[in-house]
Structure 1
């Protein structure tokens, strides 16, 4: 997809102005904050998707691979993956299904709980996760598009927001 031509104005600033003009001034700042956050998420996700596409990964599948890569044994019960990634069990099943089809993970029985299934990272999955991480580190994570000091400020503010929402 070719790069999009930038707008000659900031649509969020205009929406904020319109909010105030229509009698919602008390909510205009919050609307601008939420809308800015959501637009920034779209921008970052597009950058991440572009990097992960050649690996045939989505960010959700990449997160599963990295969680397994960081685990002590290279495997975790599917329900624990969902809890750690804070996603619905159906999302975990879907991601593991796709990763299994690509040979990145395999399902194995839990050694002590007959009701549980483990997702275990394969050598191919490990290699893919590491290669994708190298590319993400070089092209997205090392340069997220924020000025000096901006990363700590942003992470701090988002942590406060997440904590207030009961995220952790």
Structure 2
């Protein structure tokens, strides 16, 4: 993990003060700067936790996604959709998992243009071990109790809805693809035409 900065002052609070003097109050500036810094801190923490398993948090998320799927396999396009990342990032992530023996790839029999990624037994073991470590470390959020974590999730949710991460209205009405019961929503079967070209 990066060495703590241990500054004698809060640089974001200082920037907020200077911003107010020059351009007027802008609470959104302090908020986004805090969120971006929190992202840096948390990503460094969780990457450090899963590094002994030759994982990054992105690769860990892909393993979890495959673990949650009904058959332990998903199309590359479905992985990208669920993790909300670019196809190139999915390819790089899965290829690293393949090299580590945690995932295998094969042509999608339902769509000759696509590829299926399948978690291996080793991948399941690594996923379970890494998950235990992350949960023991409270995913790097040990400074917050459970109620505060739920509040963070709730506070950030409108931003995600506005960005069209998902259809908030459909989910609220119970029309989501998994009824809100499954975290990643990947339990629907892979059918013909579901895979898109990578």
Q: TM-score, normalised by structure 2?
A: 0.79
What is the count of residue pairs matched by the alignment? 166
Question: In 2, distance between residues paired with 1:2 and 1:89?
Answer: 29
Q: What secondary structure does 1:115 align onto?
A: coil
Quickly say closer, same or farther: Cα 1:78–1:5, change in 2 above 3 A.
closer
Aligned mate of 2:38, from 37, 40, 51? 40
Contact 1:104 1:121 in 2 (8 A): yes
- In the superposition, relative to structure 1, how do residues 40 and 2 fare at CA in structure 2: closer, same or farther (>3 Å)? closer
1:109 counterpart = 2:128? no
Shift, 1:4, TM fit? 2.3
Structure with greater proportional helix content:
1
1:112 shift after superposition = 1.9
1:16 corresponds in structure 2 to 16
Offset of residue 144 of structure 1: 3.2
- In the TM superposition, what is the alpha-carbon distance from 1:147 to its structure 2 partner? 4.3
- Runs of 4+ with >2 A deviation: 1-5, 140-144
Q: CA deviation at 1:149?
A: 2.5
Give how far 1:160 is off. 1.5
Quick check: 1:105–1:120 contact (8 Å CA) kept in 2? yes
- Cα distance change, pair 147–134 in 1 and its aligned pair in 2 (3 A): closer
Could you tell me which runs of 5 or more consecutive residues in structure 1 were left unpaired when the two chains were aligned: none
Q: How does 1:133-144 map to 2 (within 5 A)?
A: 133-141=131-139, 143-144=141-142
CA contact (8 A) 1:49 1:58 kept: yes
Structure 2 Cα separation of the partners of residues 15 and 31 of structure 1: 9
TM-score by length of 1: 0.92
Check whether the contact 1:48–1:140 (CA below 8 A) recurs between aligned residues: no
Q: Which residue is equivalent to 2:117? A: 119
Shift of 1:143: 4.8
What do the CA deviations read for 1:55-101 (whole angstroms, capped 9, x no partner)?
A: 11011111111100100000001011001111000000001110000
**What's the offset of the Cα at 1:166?**
1.7
